[in-house]
Amino acid sequence: MDISKIDKNFNNYYSYEGMTTHNVNSEPFKLYGLCRQDGESDFKRIPESLAKKVNNNSIALLYKNTSGIRVRFKTTSRRIILKCILPEIAKSPHMPLTGSSCFDLYADGRYCNVFRPGIDINGGYSDNVMGEDGYHSGFTFSDRKMRDILIHFPLYNDVSEVYIALEEGCELCPPDEYKTSAPVIFYGSSITQGGCASHAGNCYPAIISRRLDCDYINLGFSGGCLAETEMAEYISGMDKSVLVYDYDHNAQTADYLANTHGRFFKEIRNANPTLPVIIISAADLAFGEKVREERKNVIYQTYKNALAVGDRNVYFVDGAEIYKDVGADLCTVDNTHPNDLGFWCMANAIGRVVEKILLRRMNDV
């Protein structure tokens, strides 16, 4: 059944009449959260050489997933059309396409809607999200005031090309810079990557970024967060303000975690003696309470060891406390991956610590 024939809100109707199309790789659009070397124009999160070097097939498959990649700009256009080319649509039985494969739009910090493809497209799609005809109720802009636009890229999809169409004659300007320009680095599992948010802006790194006006890079990889030395070396060399070290889920056992968690932290700390590092244990009960506690003790030991040698730039977030106020049963889709409520809880718990660190940095300047 094609529901768009009976409910226009499911229709991907768009019109380019009176519009001018721009490539997001051109000025004044500003891209964030991606890794590019000179002359490159593709969308990826780490270098291809690193993705192929780590002893983990997951990262080689996922490094071009665009989680955390964003485009920002200012415009007076009342309509925005996004046109993109995707090599395929990433489908999952426990995550909506609006999160895995779609772009979402924020204007002046307010969520507007999702640029969404059809279920069976192959190669590209366009979606008229903001239109003066009121196609999407509540997000029609009849005036031409300047607005700050933020578009999050998909969480679990590769992206080949992206174009944005704006009204002819509108103003188009570069965005304001983030208040915190050195990015917050989030390293972790599928949860860090964004599984299973309903749309890209609802994963916890994105929520924290918008709340605190800070740049960020998402290094979450489903099944691929294994604390390899190559990843520690790469993160050590990155420009960054904070590292959120969300490593728990992908370690196969508590013993594997014990053999890798502290080592990975030390490798980064040795190269970055004053870097603020937030260490997190798992929030969900996928392991069961007993095993979760064993794993948390391993992670907490990394934190205690750092304190014992005088480290005052390390912080611990107890995952068991993250869902406590609302109940873990309301916060995941499958007893592991957060839904939007779960990510909101994570953003609250982790974001409070990030905010404390960033405020302290600003006061020290």
User: What is the pLDDT confidence band of residue 138, given thresholds at 50, 70 and 90?
Assistant: very low
Averaged pLDDT, 120-133: 49
Decide if domain 180-364 falls under CATH 3.40.50.1110.
yes
As given in the structure block, the two tokens for residue 334 are 């499958």
Residue with the bigger pLDDT between 171 and 165: it is 171
| The CATH number of the domain covering residues in 3-33+68-173 | 2.60.120.260
- Residue 352 near residue 363 (C-beta atoms within 8 A): no
Q: What are 266-287's pLDDT values in tens digits?
A: 999 999 999 999 999 999 988 8
Asked if 142 and 131 touch (Cβ cutoff 8 Å), the reply is no
Burial 9-39 (b: 16+ CB within 10 A, else e): eeeeebeeeebeebebbeeebeebbbbeeee
At residue 245, the 3 state secondary structure works out as strand
Quote the mean pLDDT of the chain: 89
> In sequence order, what are the residues at sequence separation of 6 or more whose Cβ sits closer than 8 angstroms to the Cβ of residue 322?
283, 345, 346, 349
This prediction's pTM: 0.91
Residue 176: burial class (beta carbons within 10 Å; 0-12, 13-18, 19+): exposed
Placement of tokens 């307010």 in the chain: 110
Which pLDDT band holds residue 132 (cuts at 50, 70, 90)?
very low
The Cβ-side half-sphere exposure at 217, using a 13 Å CA radius, reads: 23
Given a contact cutoff of 8 angstroms between Cβ atoms, the answer to whether 136 and 129 are in contact is: yes
| Helix ranges, 213-253 (H) | 229-237
pLDDT value at position 39? Answer: 84
The span from the CA of 265 to the CA of 227, in Å, is 9
pLDDT value at 219 more than 80: yes
Say if CB 78 and CB 130 are below 8 A apart: yes
What angle is formed at CA 213 by the lines to CA 362 and CA 275, rounded to 5 degrees? 50
Residues 191 and 200 sit within 8 Å (Cβ to Cβ): no
Above 60 in pLDDT, residue 95?
A: yes
pLDDT at 57: 84
- For residue 244, how many other CB atoms are within 10 A of its CB? 29
Q: Number of helices and strands (H, E) in the chain?
A: 9, 15
Sign of CA dihedral 45, 51, 57, 61: positive
Q: Residue 184 and residue 156: Cα distance in Å, rounded?
A: 20
Q: Taking residues 139-155, report their average pLDDT.
A: 84
**Predicted pLDDT of residue 81:** 87
Question: Where are the domains positioned within the chain?
Answer: 3-33+68-173, 180-364
Give dist(CA 103, CA 153) in Å, integer. Answer: 5
Where residue 217 falls among pLDDT bands split at 50, 70, 90?
very high
Residue 346's nearest CA partner among 243, 202, 216, 222 is 202
Pair of tokens at residue 92: 């999952």
